[in-house]
Chains A and B, each alone.
Chain A
Amino acid sequence: MEALISLLIGVLTAGGVYLCLRSHTFPVVLGLTLLSYAVNLFLFMMGRLVIGQPPIISADASGYADPIPQALVLTAIVISFAMTAFIIVLALKARTEMGNDHVDGKDVS
C-alpha cells in the first residue's frame, strides 16, 4: 500500500510540476491544483498510513491516527483553495489588462 501511495504522490507531483512550467495561465492553475493535492497528501502521510482509527476519542477505539498532520492539512486545503482562487482571478485580470493569457503577459510565442 505504501508503495502505491508513494507512486500516486509522485505522479501527481510530476504532473503538477510539468503543468506549472507551461506558458499559459490556465494550465499553470491546473498544475498548482495537482501540486497542492500532492503536497497535502504528502503532509497527511507524515502521520503514516492508518486504517480505521480516526482521531476521535471513544471508549472502544483500538488506537488513533495522528491528528497533527490532519489538522495541518485541513487548513492547508482551505488555504490552497484561497490561493487557487486568487491566482485564477489574477489570470483573469492579466487577461483583460494584457490582452493575452501568457504567464509573462507576452503575446503567444
Chain B
Amino acid sequence: MGLAYLTLIPFIGAAFTTVSTRLGRYSSAWVAVLTTIASLSLMLPLINDVMAGQTIIQQTSQWMPSLGLNIAFRLDGLSLLFTLMILLIGLVVIIYARYYLSPRDSMGRFYAYLLLFMGSMLGIVLSENILQLLMFWELTSLSSFLLISYWQQREEASRGARMALAITGGGGLAMLGGFLLLGKIAGSYELSVILSAGDVIRQHALYPYMLVLILLGVFTKSAQFPFHFWLPNAMAAPTPVSSYLHSATMVKAGIFLLARLFPALSGTPEWTWIVTLTGLITFLTGAYIALFKHDMKALLAYSTISHLGLIVMLFGIGTPLAVVAGIFHIMNHAIFKASLFMLAGIVDHETGTRDMRQLRGLRRYMPYTALLTVIAAASMAGIPFFNGFLSKEMFFAETVEHGSGMALPWLLPLVVTIGGIFAAAYSIRIAHNVFFNGETEDLPKTPHEPSRGLQIPVEILVVLCLLIGIFPAQIAGPLLSVVVASTLQATPPEYHLAIWHGINPALIMSMIAVAGGILVYRSRERLFKLQARFDGAFEAKRLYNGAMRRLFNWSSSITMNADNLSQKRMLWILFVAAIVMGASGFIVHDSPLAGTRPMLPIDPMSAMVALIMIAAGISTVIMHQQRFTALVLVSAVGLGVALTFIKFSAPDLALTQLSVEFITAVLLLLALFFLPQTTPDETDRLRQGRDIVIALLAGSGVAALSYAVLTREYTTIADYFISNSVSGGGGANVVNVLLVDFRGFDTMGEITVLSLAGIGIYAMLDKLKLLSPKQDADGRPWNPDTHPLIMSTFSRLLLPLALMVSIFILLRGHNLPGGGFIAGLVTSVALIVQYLANGVEWTRSKLPSNTHPVIGSGLLIAATTGVASWYFGYPFLTSTFDHFYIPLLGELELASAMAFDLGVYLVVVGTSLLILINLGLIHQVSYQPRTVKKALTTPSAATDSGKTSSRSAVIKKVMPWKH
C-alpha cells in the first residue's frame, strides 16, 4: 500500500494548501514542503530493495475488473529515478517559488496546483496498470493547464495553457487508443505482462497502428516535432513552473513512457525509423531556433525541445548502450535545465526583463549568480567536468556506431555535430550575453544579488552538476545501472562512466561542437539579421492558430444554424425528428398494427373516466389562453390519471399521483399569481396551423404505438422480483421493495436529483423581487379575507390526523401500498394546507421554514443505510430484515430498507416544502390585499379595438401594475 499512499499524499496536500493560507501567507509553502517530505519518507524504506534490483509490485484493489482496470503500483529502477526527480526537484522548486512569487500572487492556489501536478506525475511513473497510468497522464495535462494559466489575467497565459491542453490532451486521446490496442494484443493491461510479451506484440498485425497511436501521445507530451510549439508558448507560466514541468518532469513523461515500453515495443524497423527521425529533427530544429530567441526562457524552451529530441533519438537507436546514454541524459538534463530556468527567473526577478538584447554585463551586480549560470550553461554546452558532457559524448558515440551501419556512415555524425554546434552556441549565449558582453544600460530595475532563498535551490542543483561531472561512476553509477536494467528488462551492457576515454570520434565531435559553438556565437549578429528575414514564415504556432480558428468558426456556424435562440424552433425540430423516426419504424416493418393479445372489454365506468379525461385534455388546449381555467382543467386530467392507475392495479401510483397533483396545483396557482392571467392571441395563423399538424401527427403516432404495444404479448423479468420480494427484500409490496431494495441505487439517484431541483429553485427564488398585481385580470381587487376562519380552524384540527396517516403510510409501505415517496407527499400536503389556511407568517412561527437540514439529513440517512451494508461486508445498499417481538405491538418486521425509505421520505418532504414555502414567502412580501375602488382601464373597451391597439390594451390588461 506504500506506493498508493505515496501517490495519494500530494493530492491530500493540495487540499490542505488552499486551506492553510488562512494561517498566513507562507504556510502553504510549508504544507507543500511537508507533503513532499512525507512522500519521500514513504519512498526511503523501498530504495534498498530497488537498488538491489528488485521490482516492487503492489496490487492495491480491483477497480473495474471487467475492463482489466486495477489499481496497481510498480516501483523499479526506472520509476525510482523518476520518483526521485519528481520529489527532489519538486522540493527545490517549492522552496524557490516561496521566494519567487510576488505578494500579489495567491500562494495557496499555486502550491495546490503544483502538488496536484506532483501527485499526477508520481501516478504516471508508479503505475503498474497502463489504464491507470493514462488517467494520471491526463491529470498532468489538466494540472499543467492550471499551472500555465496561473496568472489568469494575462492573455498569453490562458492562450498558452489552452494550446498545451489541446496538444497534450489530443495526444492523450491517441494514446488511449494505443493502450487499448496494446492491452488487447498483450492480453493484459499490467506492465509486468506487457513487458515480457514483447515478441508477441511486435509480431502482431495491429502493431504498427498501436505504435503510431502511442507515439503520438509520447511526442505531444515530450514536445517533439511537429508538436513542439506548445512548449515555448507554455513559458507564460511562472518560472518555477517552467523549471519543474517544462524541464524536469512533465515533458519527460513522454520519454518515461518510451523507456517504460521499450522492451515491449522497440527493435522493429518502424520503431527505429519513426523514433530516431523524429528525435533527430527535433534535436536539430530546437537547437537552431533556440539560438535566435532573445527571451531567456524562450531560448531555454527551445533548448529543452532539442535535448528531448536528443533523448528520443537515443531510444530510437535502441542499442543497450544508447539506452544507457538516454537515461543518463534524462538525469543530467533535468538537473542543469531546472537550474537554468531558475537562474533565468532570478534575472527576470532582479532586472525586470528577460530580453537578451537588453541584458548585458550583469556580472558586476550579481557575480555569484553569474558563476552559477556559467556552470549550468557549461554543463548544457557539453564541456568536460560538467555532467552534460558525459551523456552528450555517449550520444555522439552512439550516433557514430549507428551511422556506421548506414550507406553514408559519416552523414549522421556530421548532422549531429552541427546540432551540437548550435547547442554549444546557445549555451554560451545564455551565460555570456547576459552576464558579460559589455555594460548594462537602461534596465527596468537596478539589479542586485537575489535573496538566499532563490539561490540555495540553484546551488543544490549546480553542485550536483559538478559532482556528477567529476565523479560520474561514484555519484550516478549505481542508480544508473539499476535504471538501465529495469528499462531493458535485462542485464545492463558493459559501459564505463568516465571523463577520459582516450581520443575517439566522440571526443573529436565534442571538441568540434564546442569550438564551432564559439565561432557561431561570435558571428551571431550577422546570423540574427539573416534569420530576421525568415521570421514567422514557417511557424507551427501559426498553423495551429489558423486550424483552431477554423475549427471554432465551423462549430459556431453549425450551432448558430441549428439554434436561432428560439425555443419554439428547437422544440419543433425535436418533435418533427421524433415523428419522422417513429414513422419510419412503422413504415419499414410491415407487421399489422394490432397484435394477438385479447383485449379487455370496456366497462361503462372506465369509458366515462377516459372520455372525461379526453374532454378535459382537449379543453385545456382550447381554453389555454384563459390560464386559470386551463389550470383547473389540467388538474382534472391529473385526477383522471390517478383513477387510471387505480383501475389498472397500481395503488402506489394512484396515491403518488393524487398527492403530487395537489402540490402541483398549489404551486402553479402560486406562480400564476405573478404571471399574466391570460395569453394574448396568436398573430401567426400559419404557424399555429403547422403546430396543430405536428401535434396531431405526434398524438396519432403515440396512440398507434401504444395500441401496437398493448395488443401484443411480452416477456418480463418481473417474475424474479415477485418471487424474491418477500424472501429477499422482506416486503410484500413489490413496487416498494423494488424502489428501496432491488433498485435502491436508482432511488438514491432520484432523491438526489429531487434535492438538487429543490435547491436550484431555492437559489432562483433567493432575492427575487416579483411585482404583485393589485387586482385580477378583470380589474377586480383581491378578496381581503385571505384566511377564512372555518378553513383555518379545520386545517389545524386536521393536521395531526394527516400526519398520523402519513406515518402510517410510511411504515406500512413495505408490505402494503405506501412508502417514503407517498408518505412524504402526504406530509407535505398536510403542511401546505396549514400555510394556505393560516398564512405563511403564522405557520412560519410554528414550523421551521428552512427545510435544508431536512433534505440533508434525508440524503444522509439514505446514504448511511447504503454504506452500512459495506460494514457488514455486503455491496452498497444491500438490505437486511428481521422479525422482532415487541410487547403490546406483537411481532413486527423491520427491514433496513425502511431506514432508506425514511431518507426518501425526508427528502420528499423537505424538497416540496422548500419549493412551496419560498414561493409563498415571496407572496407574503409582495402581496398586500387592499380594496381598490375601480380599475384604471376598463377591459371591455380594449377587446373591441383593432389589432395593433389591442396589443397595448392586452398589455395593460395583462400587466396592470405597469401603469
A8 & B638 in contact (Cβ 8 Å cutoff)? no
Q: Which of A57-78 contact B (CB under 8 A)?
A: 57-58, 64-68, 70-71, 73-75, 77-78
Q: Which residues of B contact A75 (CB under 8 A)?
A: 739, 746-747, 750, 821
Q: Give the contacting residue for A58; candidates B631, B691, B732, B817; CB below 8 A.
A: B732
Q: Give which listed residue, B568, B631, B815, contacts A21 with CB less than 8 A.
A: B568
The residues in A between 1 and 32 inclusive whose CB is less than 8 angstroms from any CB of B are 1-15, 17-30
Give chain A residues whose Cβ lies under 8 Å from the Cβ of B624.
19, 22, 27, 30
Least CB distance, A71 to chain B, in whole angstroms: 4
Question: Nearest-CB distance from A8 to chain B (Å)?
Answer: 5
Closest Cβ of chain B to A23, distance in Å, is 6
Pair B815/A19 contact, Cβ less than 8 Å: no
Given contacts A2-B707, A23-B568, A54-B817, whether A68 and B718 have CB atoms under 8 Å apart is yes
- Shortest CB distance B67–A (Å): 28
Pair B743/A71 contact, Cβ less than 8 Å: yes
- The residue on B at minimum CB distance from A86 is B757
Contact of B599 among A1, A18, A21 (CB under 8 A): A1
Looking at B625, B641, B726, the one whose CB has the most chain A CB atoms below 10 A away is B641
> Does A42 contact B734, Cβ atoms closer than 8 Å?
no
Chain A-chain B contacts (Cβ-Cβ < 8 Å), number: 297
Q: Which residue of B lies closest to A81 (CB)?
A: B660
Q: How far is the CB of B645 from chain A (nearest CB, A)?
A: 7
Identify the closest chain A residue to B736 (Cβ).
A71
Would A4 and B691 count as touching, CB distance under 8 A?
Answer: no
In the complex, how many angstroms separate the beta carbon of B914 from the nearest chain A beta carbon?
A: 10
Residues of A within 8 A of B620 (CB): 15, 19, 30, 34
Interface residue B344 (Cβ < 8 Å from any Cβ of A): no
A71 contacts across to B, CB distance below 8 A: 735, 738-739, 743
Instruction: Determine how close the nearest CB of chain B comes to the CB of A41; give it in whole angstroms.
Output: 6
Question: Which stretch from B150-158, B528-536, B692-700, B889-897 is at the chain A interface?
Answer: B692-700
Cα A46 to Cα B650 with chains together (Å): 13
A49 at the interface (CB under 8 A from B): yes
CB of B668 within 8 A of CB of A88, answer yes
Provide the residues of chain B in CB contact with A103, threshold 8 Å.
567-568
Given contacts A44-B645, A78-B754, A96-B771, whether A15 and B617 have CB atoms under 8 Å apart is: yes
Cross-chain contact A6 with B645 (CB below 8 angstroms): no
Q: Is the CB of A84 within 8 A of B675?
A: no
Residues of chain A within 8 A (CB-CB) of B919 are: 89
CA distance A50 to B650 in the complex (A): 9
CA of A78 to CA of B659, assembled, Å: 10
**Residue B504 at the chain A interface, CB threshold 8 Å:** no
Give the residues in chain A near B764, CB-CB below 8 Å: 89-90, 92-93
- Distance in angstroms between the alpha carbons of A8 and B638 in the assembled complex: 13
**Alpha-carbon distance between A65 and B578 when the two chains are bound, in angstroms:** 30
In the bound complex, how far is the Cα of B695 from the Cα of A19, in angstroms? 9
Contact of A15 among B627, B695, B955 (CB under 8 A): B695
**Shortest CB distance B667–A (Å):** 6
Q: Is B789 an interface residue (CB 8 A)?
A: no
CA of A15 to CA of B623, assembled, Å: 11
Main secondary structure of the interface of A (DSSP, over half): helix
> A108 CA to B641 CA in the complex, in Å?
34
B920 CB to nearest chain A CB (Å): 12
From B617, B657, B676, B768, name the one whose CB has the most chain A CB atoms within 10 angstroms.
B617
Smallest CB-CB separation from A105: which chain B residue? Answer: B565
CB pair B757–A45 under 8 Å, yes or no, is no
Whether A57 lies near B722 (C-beta < 8 A) is yes
Instruction: List the A residue with the shortest CB-CB distance to B742.
Output: A71
**Chain B positions 790-832 with a Cβ under 8 Å from a chain A Cβ:** 815-817, 821, 825
Which B residues are in CB contact (< 8 Å) with A91?
A: 671, 675
A8 to B640, CA, bound (A): 11
Instruction: State whether the Cβ of B2 lies closer than 8 Å to any Cβ in chain A.
Output: no
Q: Contact: B601 with A56, CB < 8 Å?
A: no
655-676 of chain B: CB within 8 A of chain A: 656-657, 660, 663-664, 667-668, 671-672, 674-676
Q: Interface code A34-49, partner B: CB below 8 Å = 1, 0 otherwise? A: 1001101110111111
For the complex, give the distance between the alpha carbons of A74 and B817 in Å. 12
Question: B951: CB under 8 A from chain A?
Answer: yes
Residue of A nearest to B614 (CB): A11
| Complex Cα gap A44–B847 (Å) | 37
| A19 contact set on B, CB distance < 8 A | 620-621, 624
In the complex, what residues of A have CB within 8 A of residue B757's CB?
82-83, 85-86
With both beta carbons as reference points, the residue of chain A lying nearest to B699 in the complex is identified as A14
Tell whether A55 pairs with B735 under 8 Å between CB atoms, given A66-B718, A108-B955. yes
Chain A contacts for B675, CB-based, 8 A: 25-26, 91-92, 95, 101
- The yes or no answer to B552 lying at the interface (CB within 8 A) is no
A67 touches B718 (CB 8 A): yes
- Whether A2 contacts B695 in the complex (CB less than 8 A), given A55-B734, A70-B652, A88-B667, comes out as no
Question: Scoring B residues 563 to 584 as 1 if CB is less than 8 Å from chain A, else 0, what string do you get?
Answer: 0011110011001000000000
Nearest Cβ distance between residue A28 and chain B, in whole angstroms? 8
Q: Which of A2, A17, A30, A79 has the most chain B CB atoms inside 10 A of its CB?
A: A17
Verify B716–A57 contact, CB threshold 8 A.
no
Q: How far is the CA of A20 from the CA of B653 in the complex (A)?
A: 25
Q: Tell whether, in the assembled complex, residue B647 and residue A17 are in contact, meaning their CB atoms are under 8 Å apart.
A: no
B725 within 8 A of partner (CB): yes
Residue of A nearest to B691 (CB): A21
Indicate which residue in A18, A41, A47 contacts B644 across the interface (CB closer than 8 Å): A41
B667 to chain A: closest residue by CB: A85
Bound Cα distance from A18 to B690, whole angstroms? 10
Instruction: Evaluate contact between B648 and A89: CB separation under 8 angstroms.
Output: no
Encode B752-772 as 1/0 by CB contact (under 8 A) with A: 011001101100110011110
For B911, the chain A residues whose CB sits under 8 A away are 82
CB distance from B314 to the nearest CB of A (A): 60
A95–B679 CA distance with the chains assembled, in angstroms: 14
Indicate if B630 sits at the interface (CB-CB under 8 A).
yes
Cβ of B680 within 8 Å of any chain A Cβ, yes or no, is yes
Give the complex CA separation of A58 and B911 in angstroms: 34
CB distance from A66 to the nearest CB of B (A): 5
Which of B97-105, B225-233, B602-610 sits within the interface?
B602-610
Given A2-B711, A8-B614, A74-B735: A54 touches B668 (CB 8 Å cut-off): no
B566: chain A residues at CB < 8 Å are 104
Contact (A70, B653) CB under 8 Å given A1-B600, A81-B664: yes
Q: Which residues of chain A come closer than 8 Å to B750, judged between CB atoms?
A: 75, 78-79
Contact (Cβ within 8 A) B732 A10: no
Q: How far is the CB of B565 from chain A (nearest CB, A)?
A: 6
Cβ distance B642 to chain A, nearest Cβ, rounded Å: 10
- Known A-B contacts A22-B679, A55-B733; the reply to A10 vs B702 at CB < 8 A is yes
A12 close to B671 (CB less than 8 A)? no
With A26-B679, A33-B638, A85-B667 as contacts: A17 and B610 at CB distance below 8 Å:
no
Contact, CB under 8 Å: B649 / A88: no
- The reply to whether the CB of B618 lies closer than 8 angstroms to some CB of chain A is yes
Q: A17-B575, A45-B709 are in contact. Are A89 and B702 (CB under 8 A)?
A: no
Given contacts A51-B648, A53-B649, contact A42 B638 (CB under 8 A): no
- Does chain A have a CB within 8 A of B634? yes
Q: Are A79 and B754 in contact (CB under 8 A)?
A: yes
29 contacts between A and B (CB under 8 A): A1-B602, A2-B600, A4-B606, A18-B692, A21-B694, A27-B624, A27-B630, A27-B679, A30-B620, A30-B634, A41-B644, A42-B706, A45-B706, A47-B718, A56-B651, A57-B733, A68-B721, A74-B652, A74-B653, A74-B656, A77-B656, A78-B750, A79-B750, A82-B758, A86-B760, A89-B671, A89-B919, A91-B671, A96-B770
Q: Which 6 A-B pairs have the closest CB atoms?
A: A10-B703, A14-B699, A18-B695, A82-B757, A65-B649, A1-B600
Binding site for B on A (CB under 8 A): 1-15, 17-30, 33-34, 37-38, 40-42, 44-58, 64-68, 70-71, 73-75, 77-79, 81-86, 88-93, 95-96, 101, 103-104, 108-109
11 other contacts beyond A11-B699, A45-B710, A55-B734, with CB at 8 A cut-off?
Answer: A2-B600, A10-B699, A15-B618, A27-B627, A30-B620, A49-B600, A51-B647, A57-B733, A67-B735, A79-B753, A91-B671
